[in-house]
Amino acid sequence: MNAMTQTPAPNPLLTDWTGDFALPPFATLTPAHFRPAFDAALAAHRAELDAIAANPEKPTFDNTIVALETSGKDLDKVANVFFVLAGADTGEAIEAVERDMSPLLARHSNAMYLDRKLYARIGDLHARRDSLGLTPEQARVLDRYNTRFVRAGGALEQAAQDRLAEINERLATLGTQFGQNVLADEKSFALILDEADLAGLPDFAIAAASAAAEERGHKGKYAITLARSSCEGFLQFSDRRDLREKMFQAWTKRGENGGATDNRALIAEMVALRGERARLLGFATFADYRLDDSMAKTPQAARKLLDDVWGRAKLKAGVERDALQEMIAAEGGNFALAPHDWRYYAEKLRKERYDLDESEIKPYFQLDKMIDAAFETATRLFGLQFKPVDVPLYHADARAWDVTDASGQHVGLFIGDYFARGSKHSGAWMTSLRDQQKLKGDIRPIILNVCNFSKPAKGEPALLSFDDARTLFHEFGHGLHGLLSNVTYPLLAGTSVSSDFVELPSQLYEHWLEVPEILQKYALHAKTGAPMPKAMFDKLLATRTYGQGFATIEYTSCALVDLDIHALPDADKLDVAKFERDTLAAMNMPAEIVMRHRLPHFQHLFSGGGYAAGYYSYMWSEVLDADAFEAFSETGNAFDPATAKKLRDFIYSAGNLRDPGEAYVAFRGRLPSVEPLLKKRGLADASVA
């Protein structure tokens, strides 16, 4: 057979994946496969949706809801693989596909949720729900479908639906561009240093900077990048105030440097479009729309929590600031504390007060040991076991574990991708290649944690800061939420819960990092293998509330600005930089602290918008997680079996089977108290530094 008559090879994205764990065939995938695979999968799903909508039979749960739940198999497969790569191992070809597909995927979503015939069937079932003989899970699925369609505009008149469709497509395009702009700014900057510029940096930071420089083609030099673990470490240790300022400026100016990657005009347009969408759906502002389907219910409820914490945090941050300024004066410094100074002097003061130096702590937090610590916690709480497996993945840095339960049954596959690189977006997140469900058989999940820790020099262990270790536990908490999911219907699986509840499993899991049984076993020195000395361990735990005024201001300012910008009744002439300045000034933001995520690079809000008007969720969930861990503390056992079983049954494995408030009460027996949060952050007595 000559080349002209050869049958084209099938697109690997659209074949049955028969390898280990039914993983995607990463080895044979190229960016060129995605567009034709998306086109075919979208067409197939559209045909399935049309058939459901046109079904002449009276709507039933099976011919409408189950049919929806079992549709779009190929689209799920293709999209899951693509967005893993677009986040964790992207490049020009993937970014081009992402720009092309974002509006097309939004158009497809519009066609589904604005299909009047399809919504009529769902609405009919919802109206008759009490007479259908549904199980509680089926009733929940039906209710969630009805809510989704109504909130998407399924019940609106045609003209309003047409405008919604235009808005959604444009927002999808803008969100993609926003994220790619931030990544471009991060990739284009590195602070290249000579040996003379390294004063104050500990050995592990120098080794990581050397590896980063070599990766960027500057062998023999040292590079500080805009990966958070690299940047913050430099700000914490470098004696060079001029270089700290230069690094801090680059970090805070991402997305605001003018030119093609400047995000300010994109933000203004997105905020205006979100407000218009909310008004079309009957809400005064986007914040009202967003929180209507959350645990908080209203922006006022979210703001009350943030305002209560903000006042206490400002008092504590003021005490912290004064102590740092006194240290500067004692050293003979004739300057006012600036944002690029805070981490440096806070670390020096911590060392002075507690005889505790981050450079002495960090060798005890080896990445591999912290992974083992997170796994053992899951073993002791939930009976899970983790076995490394050698399977083909999308990048050499990624690794995988087969997760089994106490009886040896397969629970899911867990993939960890921990190191920063130029092809990866910043931050840390959990995602999936496959979600758990039972509707099409016992489908087991494939869950990923993606982080951006500094990669060590060859042959050296990867070392984490204590905050990095906390991030690892946090993301693994999300991972367990996906791995332990035990529902029938895909719509309810894993992390498919409201955004102010989804952080509960992740933030709660952070508590076990500080449990002495875990920390003492796995905090082993990278060179000597010796466990962390008890005196150091005690001092580390004693500093848990140190610097919490600063940390709380950094976070809470972001959450308040988020609520404010999405509560604007009219954003058509929004000046993003002025809005940020004016809002912070009205809040009396301390001049020495900058928002953890300034608006031009605030990807939680504008790169897809998953947390738009919802960044408060971390604090809301922290009320839940602090109270939830008290349930274990009250038993005197951080691994109490009965409490762990309730935690698994009603939180980690329950997906969206229940309203979040009902789920929490089922676990705890009552709604949470805010007092454990204030205690955890050291804000119960805000005057104490």
Active site amino acids: 475
Cα separation, 61 vs 131, in Å, equals 12
Cβ(606)–Cβ(263) under 8 Å? yes
Q: Which residues pair with 437 in a beta bridge?
A: 443
Cβ(532)–Cβ(364) under 8 Å? yes
Residue 191, helix vs strand vs coil? strand
Cα separation, 12 vs 434, in Å, equals 16
Query: Tokens 């690094």 correspond to what residue?
Result: 247
Q: How do strand 446-453 and strand 410-419 relate by DSSP bridges?
A: parallel
Residue 574, helix vs strand vs coil? coil
Contacts 24+ apart (CB under 8 A), 195-200: 195/222, 197/222, 197/240, 197/243, 198/222, 199/238, 199/239, 199/240, 200/237, 200/238, 200/239, 200/240
Beta-carbon neighbour count of residue 317 at 10 Å?
25
Cα separation, 495 vs 484, in Å, equals 10
What's the first-to-final CA gap in the chain, in angstroms? 79
Cα separation, 635 vs 210, in Å, equals 48
Beta strands in 441-588 (DSSP E): 446-453
Cβ(522)–Cβ(501) under 8 Å? no
Cβ(488)–Cβ(608) under 8 Å? no
Q: What is the dihedral of CA 424, 420, 188, 607, to 10 degrees?
A: 40
Cα separation, 689 vs 681, in Å, equals 11
Q: Which residues contact 367 (CB under 8 A, 6 or more apart)?
A: 418, 453, 461, 462, 463, 464, 472
Backbone CA torsion sign across 134, 137, 138, 144: positive
Q: How far is CA 182 from CA 226, 274, 408, 424, 425, in A?
A: 11, 21, 44, 11, 8
What is the phi/psi pair of residue 417, to 5°? Answer: -130, 100
Cβ(563)–Cβ(303) under 8 Å? yes
Cα separation, 9 vs 15, in Å, equals 11
Cβ(436)–Cβ(487) under 8 Å? yes
Cβ(168)–Cβ(153) under 8 Å? no
Beta-carbon neighbour count of residue 566 at 10 Å?
27
Cβ(501)–Cβ(663) under 8 Å? yes
Q: How do strand 429-434 and strand 222-225 relate by DSSP bridges?
A: unpaired
Residue 387, helix vs strand vs coil? strand
The full DSSP string for 281-320 is TT-SSHHHHHHHTSSS-SHHHHHHHHHHHHHHHHHHHHHH
The full DSSP string for 400-415 is EEEEE-TTS-EEEEEE
Backbone CA torsion sign across 239, 245, 250, 255: positive
Cα separation, 345 vs 216, in Å, equals 30
Q: How far is CA 684 from CA 319, 545, 670, in A?
A: 14, 11, 22
